[in-house]
Amino acid sequence: MRYATGRFLLFTAIWGVLLALGAAAGLWLWNRLSGQPGPPVLSPGGLQVAVGALALAVLPAVIGEVRAARLPRDTPIGANPGLLLRPVAGVAIGLAAVILASVAVRFGGPTWRGWVAAGRVQAVQERATGWWRTAEERLYGAVDRYYLERYDRRATPQPTPTPEPTPSASPSSGGE
């Protein structure tokens, strides 16, 4: 129990340091790339971002412990060096995603506003609405046809034999 708790706390500390450094790097990059700078790294706003990243360090540590519980224990760590690089790769991918999102917001915002002003967005929305209506009508028509063919008895008339007329019996008198 003590070993598992110590390992969890160690991984939480490692993730906390990595995420706080990642948040600081993200703030620094945001201030360098953005036309609207964010808070400086060494300010109350930057500290709030770093503490938020530090608080989120519990999540990857828990996920790592859950994964470690499922791995076989009899293989040495050196036999599978990918297990040591997986957390670092996760942090690198996360940082790349944050950087990509911030750059996309920075350069995508003016482009989007230009498209809206030119009327391109509304034209695409109208075209997509027309396509959606057409697809919806086809789908509803196909469902209606399926139900008629499958469940409506009138849709496929079945031949029914007509009964032969029986000779009518004359009413008998008095109770035989």
Question: Which of 17, 52, 104, 5 is CA-nearest to residue 112?
Answer: 104
Please state the rounded mean pLDDT for residues 36-58: 79
Distance CA 99, CA 172 (A): 103
Specify the DSSP element, H or E, that contains 52.
helix 44-55
Residue 145 has pLDDT above 80, yes or no: yes
Instruction: Using alpha carbons, list the distances in angstroms from residue 141 to 134, 149, 153, 172.
Output: 11, 12, 19, 60
Question: Of the candidates 45, 1, 19, 12, which has an alpha carbon nearest to the alpha carbon of residue 98?
Answer: 19
* Total-model pTM: 0.42
The number of helix segments (H) and strand segments (E) in the chain equals 5, 0
Contact present, 41 and 24 (Cβ < 8 Å): yes
Q: Is the pLDDT of residue 46 over 80?
A: no
Q: How far is it, in rounded angstroms, from Cα 30 to Cα 72?
A: 42
Q: Which amino acid is at 30?
A: W
76/111: higher pLDDT: 111
pLDDT of residue 89: 78
pLDDT for the residue 131: 95
Mean pLDDT of all residues in 96-101: 80
